[in-house]
C-alpha cells in the first residue's frame, strides 16, 4: 500500500507524546473543591495551544486505545483472541513512519509498535512487571518514565550518534504513563489519590517540557497529551459510557493554533475543539511531516493547525488520497473475489467520480486555489469513509441471512429432540440427489467467488440442520418411534422459564447486565496485587459463574425429586436462549452512540454465551448433585 504525506514544510521537527492511561475527561477538566485547577501546567499550556475532548471507540481497553492514537484506526476485534496483545492483521503506525521513535513505559504497550520491520528506528524501554502493584505507590511508574527520559537526554550529550539522531527531523518521544489506570482500578477516580495522581502527572509533564525546551531551544517541538480511555466511577473500563469514551486532549507547541480564552469562571474557560481518537495519528503525522499511517481512517482536524492555507490544502489533499487509496484497494479485492454479475460497486464513489475528483483537485492545486481544495476534501472524505465501510461489510447481508437460517434450523432441530428422544443416524447418507446437488452447486458457487471456508460452513449449516430435523420428525410421523418418548409436560416448560429467570437474577445480583465491565473489580485486589488484566477478568468470570452453578445444581436436584428429564429441561432452556440470540442479532448496531453500539453487542454476546455456559455447567451440576463421596449406610440386613 502506497504511503501519502503532505509535500509541505512541516511546522515541527520533533513530537513528544504523553498518553495517560485510564485518565477520563471528567476528572481531568473538573475543578478542585476550592475552585483551583487540578493540572495547572497543562492549563497554562492550553492557552498556548488547543485543547478538547477525544472521543474513543469501544472496547475502551488499553491496546485498542493506543492503536487508535498511534495508528489511526479502531482495533481489529479478532485481537481479542490474542488477549488484546497481538493484532491478527499487520498494520502501519505513526511510529513506523517517523525517522526515529523512542518509547518508555509498560512492556505490554511500548512493544506493540516495535515489530521486526521497525526495530531499526523504533526503540523501547520498559519497567519490570512487578512494579505494577496495586498496594504500592503507583506514582513511581510515571516517575520511572520521567527519570528514564531525563537520563536519555543526558546520555546524548556524551554519545555523538544519539546526539545526531535526536537532532534530525521526524523524531518522536513517546511516554506511556500508566499510574492513573492503576490508581483508578485500586482507589477509584473520585478518590483523593486519583486527584493527587493528576497533580503529580501534571508536575512530571512540566518537568519533561522544561527539559526538552532547555535541551533543543529551537521552538521546533510539539507536545501532545491525551489518554487511551476513561474509567467508570467503580474503577473499570471496556464499555461505551461517556466516562469511558471521553478523554482529554491538550496539544501545544510549534504549528499549533492558539485558542482565545473566553470570559468565564470555569477552570478551562476557552471553547474546546473535540476530535475523534483516530484523528490524532494523522494530526501528529502532519505536524512533523511524516507520511500518514497506511491503515489510518482518521481525518486531520485543521482547527488544531497554525499553518498557511497552502500547507492546510496539501495536508488535506494527502489525507484524501491516503483514504481513497484504501477504498480502491478494498474495491479491487472485492472485484477480484466475485463474478461480475455478483459484484456491486459503491454508488457514492464510482471510478468515474474518482477520476473526476482527482483531476479537479490537481487542477485546483495548479491554480493555487487552496481554500477550495480544503472544502472539496472535507466534502468527499466522509463519502470515502462510507465506501470503505461498504466494502468492509460487503458480505454482511448474505452472512446475516445464513446465520438467521442456521438459527431457525437449529431451533427446529432442538424441537425435534424434544418430541423424539431416541438417537437416529443423521448423516448426509439419507439426503436425496436433489439435496446433494443443491448443496454441491452452492458450494461450487461460493468457492468460485473466493469465499472463506468459515463462510461456506455458515451457508451449509442450515441445510444439514433442516435435514436432521426433518428426518427425526418424519420418523416420528411414520411411527418408527413410540409416543412415550415424545411427551413434553407443561411443568417442564414452567421449570425452564423459572430457571432462566434465576440465571438473569444471578447476573443482576453480581453486576449489570449491560456488560461485564460494569462489575466492581475492587474485591480482586484481595487476590491480585500486581496489575494483570487477564487474571482480573478471569476472577470476575468466576464471580459471575457462581450464581449460575447454584441455579444449575438446584435444577438438577429438582429434576431428581420430580422425575423430570434433565435433557428436556436443558433443551427448553437452549430454545429460549437461542430465540433471544436471534432477536439481539437482528438488533446489532454499528451506528449511533458508542453506548448503543456497545450495549447491542453485549446483549447478543450475553444471550449466546449464557446458553453455552449453562450447557457446560450442567455437567458440573450433575457431578455435584449425584456424586457420592461416601456410600450410604444400610440399617436393614
Tell whether 549 and 503 lie within a shared domain.
yes
| C-alpha separations of 78 from 40, 64, 86, 532, 579 in Å | 41, 11, 9, 21, 26
Mean pLDDT of the 214-238 span = 93
Same structural domain, 498 and 569: yes
pLDDT of residue 315: 97
Mean pLDDT of 588-594: 67
Residue 2 lies in a domain: no
Determine the Cα–Cα distance for residues 363 and 359; give it in Å rounded to an integer: 6
When pLDDT is averaged across residues 101-127 and rounded to a whole number, the result is 86
Strand ranges for 121-245 from DSSP E:
122-126, 171-177, 221-226
More confident residue, 300 or 559: 300
Asked if the structure places residue 6 within a domain, the reply is: no
CB burial of residue 42 (10 Å; 0-12, 13-18, 19+): buried
Residue 632 maps to a domain: no
Q: How confident is the model at residue 116 (pLDDT cuts 50, 70, 90)?
A: low
Sign of CA dihedral 401, 406, 411, 413: positive
> Which pLDDT band holds residue 483 (cuts at 50, 70, 90)?
very low
pLDDT, tens digit, for every residue of 317-330? 999 999 999 999 99
pLDDT confidence of 505, banded at 50, 70, 90? confident
Task: State the pairing for strand pair 171-177/14-20.
Answer: parallel
User: Is 11's pLDDT higher than 70?
Assistant: yes
- Which of 378, 394, 410 is a domain's end point? 394
Average pLDDT value over all residues in the chain: 83
Tell me the CATH number at 145.
Answer: 3.40.720.10
Angle at 43 between CA 18 and CA 202, to 5 degrees: 45
Q: Are residues 386 and 408 in the same domain?
A: no
- Check whether 494 has a pLDDT greater than 90: no
Task: Give CA torsion, residues 193, 199, 202, 206, to 10 deg.
Answer: -130
User: Which single residue is written with the C-alpha cell 483551583?
Assistant: 36
Are residues 371 and 453 located together in one domain of the fold? Answer: no
Residues 369 and 282 in one domain: no
The answer, yes or no, to whether residue 517 has pLDDT greater than 70, is: no
- Determine, yes or no, domain membership for 635: no
pLDDT at 615: 78
pLDDT (mean) for 220-239: 92
Asked, for residue 9, whether it belongs to a domain, the answer is no
Task: Report the candidate in 287, 283, 312, 313 with the shortest Cα–Cα distance to residue 298.
Answer: 283
pTM of this structure: 0.79
Q: For 242-273, give the DSSP string.
A: HHHHEEEEEEEETTBPPPPPPS-SSSS-SPP-
User: Quick check: 447 pLDDT over 70?
Assistant: yes
Q: Are residues 377 and 490 in the same domain?
A: no
Q: Is the pLDDT of residue 597 over 80?
A: no
Range of the domain at 102: 14-306
The domain tally of the chain equals 3
Confidence at residue 428, expressed as pLDDT on a 0 to 100 scale:
47
Where does a domain end: 255, 284, 306?
306
Confidence of residue 574 (pLDDT cuts 50, 70, 90): confident
> Are 312 and 275 in a shared domain?
no
- Are residues 417 and 279 part of one domain? no
Are residues 402 and 525 both part of a single domain? yes
Of 277, 306, 335, which residue is a domain's last?
A: 306
φ, ψ at 561 (rounded to 5°): -75, -30
Tell me the three cell numbers of residue 113.
509498535
Q: Are residues 177 and 82 in the same domain?
A: yes
Q: Is the pLDDT of residue 559 over 90?
A: no
**Cell match 481531568: residue?**
28
Q: What is the pLDDT of residues 66-96, one digit of tens each?
A: 999 999 998 765 555 455 455 556 789 999 9
Domain-embedded: residue 7: no
Closest CA to 227 of 255, 207, 197, 256: 197
Mean pLDDT lowest for which of 86-95, 304-313, 439-448, 527-536? 527-536
Does 180 reside within a domain?
yes
Mark whether 390 and 486 lie in a shared domain. no
In a domain, 637, yes or no: no
Shared domain check, 537 and 429:
yes
Instruction: Summarize the confidence of residues 292-298 as an average pLDDT.
Output: 95
Query: Where does residue 168 rank: exposed (0-12), middle (13-18), buried (19+ CB within 10 A)?
Result: exposed
Please tell me the predicted confidence (pLDDT) of residue 475: 59
The pLDDT value recorded for residue 87 is 55
Q: What gap in Å lies between CA 54 and CA 38, rounded to an integer?
A: 19
Amino acid at each position: 500500500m502506497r504511503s501519502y504525506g503532505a509535500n509541505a514544510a512541516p511546522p515541527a521537527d520533533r513530537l513528544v507524546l504523553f498518553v495517560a492511561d485510564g485518565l477520563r475527561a471528567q476528572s481531568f477538566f473538573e475543578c478542585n473543591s476550592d475552585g483551583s485547577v487540578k493540572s495547572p501546567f497543562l492549563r497554562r499550556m492550553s492557552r498556548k495551544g488547543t485543547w478538547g475532548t477525544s472521543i474513543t471507540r469501544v472496547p475502551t481497553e488499553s491496546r485498542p486505545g493506543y492503536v487508535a492514537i498511534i495508528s489511526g484506526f479502531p482495533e481489529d476485534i479478532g485481537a481479542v483472541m490474542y488477549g488484546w496483545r497481538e493484532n491478527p492483521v499487520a498494520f502501519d503506525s505513526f511510529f513506523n513512519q517517523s525517522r526515529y521513535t523512542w518509547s518508555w513505559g509498560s512492556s505490554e504497550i511500548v512493544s506493540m509498535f516495535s515489530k521486526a520491520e521497525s526495530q531499526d528506528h523504533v526503540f523501547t524501554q520498559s519497567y519490570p512487571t512487578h512494579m505494577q502493584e496495586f498496594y504500592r505507590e503507583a506514582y513511581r511508574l510515571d516517575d520511572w518514565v520521567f527519570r528514564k527520559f531525563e537520563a536519555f537526554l543526558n546520555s546524548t550529550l556524551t554519545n555523538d550518534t544519539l546526539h545526531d539522531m535526536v537532532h534530525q527531523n521526524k523524531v518522536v518521544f513517546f511516554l506511556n504513563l500508566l499510574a492513573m489506570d492503576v490508581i483508578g482500578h485500586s482507589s477509584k477516580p473520585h478518590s483523593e489519590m486519583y486527584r493527587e495522581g493528576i497533580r503529580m502527572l501534571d508536575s512530571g509533564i512540566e518537568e519533561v517540557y522544561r527539559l526538552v525546551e532547555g535541551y533543543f531551544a529551537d521552538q521546533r517541538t510539539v507536545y501532545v497529551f491525551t489518554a487511551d480511555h476513561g474509567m467508570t466511577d467503580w474503577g473499570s473500563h471496556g464499555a461505551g459510557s461517556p466516562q469511558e469514551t471521553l478523554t482529554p486532549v491538550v496539544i501545544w507547541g510549534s504549528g499549533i493554533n492558539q485558542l482565545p480564552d473566553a470570559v468565564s469562571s470555569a477552570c478551562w474557560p476557552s471553547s474546546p475543539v473535540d476530535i475523534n481518537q483516530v484523528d490524532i495519528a494523522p494530526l501528529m503525522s502532519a505536524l512533523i511531516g511524516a507520511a500518514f499511517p497506511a491503515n489510518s481512517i482518521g481525518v486531520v482536524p485543521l482547527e488544531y493547525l497554525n499553518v498557511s492555507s497552502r500547507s492546510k490544502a496539501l495536508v488535506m489533499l494527502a489525507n484524501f488520497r491516503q483514504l481513497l487509496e484504501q477504498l480502491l484497494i478494498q474495491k479491487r479485492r472485492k472485484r477480484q473475489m466475485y463474478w461480475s454479475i455478483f459484484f456491486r460497486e459503491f454508488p457514492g464513489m464510482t471510478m468515474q467520480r474518482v477520476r473526476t475528483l482527482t483531476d479537479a483537485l490537481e487542477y485546483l492545486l495548479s491554480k493555487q486555489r487552496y481554500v477550495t481544495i480544503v472544502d472539496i476534501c472535507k466534502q468527499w472524505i466522509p463519502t470515502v469513509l462510507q465506501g470503505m465501510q461498504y466494502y468492509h461489510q460487503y458480505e454482511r447481508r448474505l452472512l446475516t441471512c445464513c446465520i438467521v437460517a442456521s438459527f431457525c434450523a437449529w431451533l427446529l432441530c432442538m424441537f425435534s429432540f424434544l418430541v423424539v428422544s431416541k438417537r437416529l443416524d443423521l448423516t448426509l447418507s439419507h439426503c436425496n440427489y436433489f439435496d446433494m446437488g443443491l448443496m454441491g452447486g452452492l458450494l461450487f458457487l461460493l468457492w468460485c467467488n473466493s469465499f472463506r471456508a468459515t463462510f461456506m460452513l455458515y451457508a451449509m449449516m442450515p441445510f444439514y440442520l433442516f435435514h436432521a430435523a426433518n428426518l427425526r420428525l418424519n420418523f416420528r410421523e411414520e411411527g418408527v418411534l413410540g409416543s412415550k418418548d415424545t411427551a413434553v409436560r407443561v411443568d417442564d416448560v414452567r421449570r425452564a422459564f423459572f430457571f432462566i429467570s434465576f440465571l438473569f437474577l444471578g447476573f443482576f445480583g453480581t453486576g449489570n447486565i449491560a456488560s461485564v465491565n460494569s462489575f466492581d473489580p475492587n474485591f480482586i485486589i484481595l487476590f491480585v496485587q500486581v496489575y494483570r488484566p487477564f487474571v482480573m477478568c478471569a476472577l470476575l468470570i468466576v464471580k459471575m459463574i457462581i450464581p449460575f452453578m447454584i441455579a444449575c445444581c438446584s435444577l438438577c436436584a429438582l429434576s431428581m425429586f420430580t422425575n423430570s428429564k434433565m435433557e428436556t429441561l436443558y433443551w427448553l432452556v437452549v430454545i429460549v436462549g437461542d430465540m433471544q440470540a436471534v432477536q439481539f442479532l437482528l438488533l446489532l448496531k454499528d451506528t449511533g452512540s458508542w453506548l448503543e453500539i456497545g450495549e447491542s453487542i453485549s446483549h447478543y454476546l450475553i444471550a449466546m454465551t449464557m446458553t453455552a455456559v449453562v450447557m457446560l455447567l450442567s455437567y458440573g451440576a450433575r457431578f455435584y448433585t449425584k456424586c457420592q463421596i461416601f456410600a450410604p449406610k444400610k440399617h436393614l440386613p
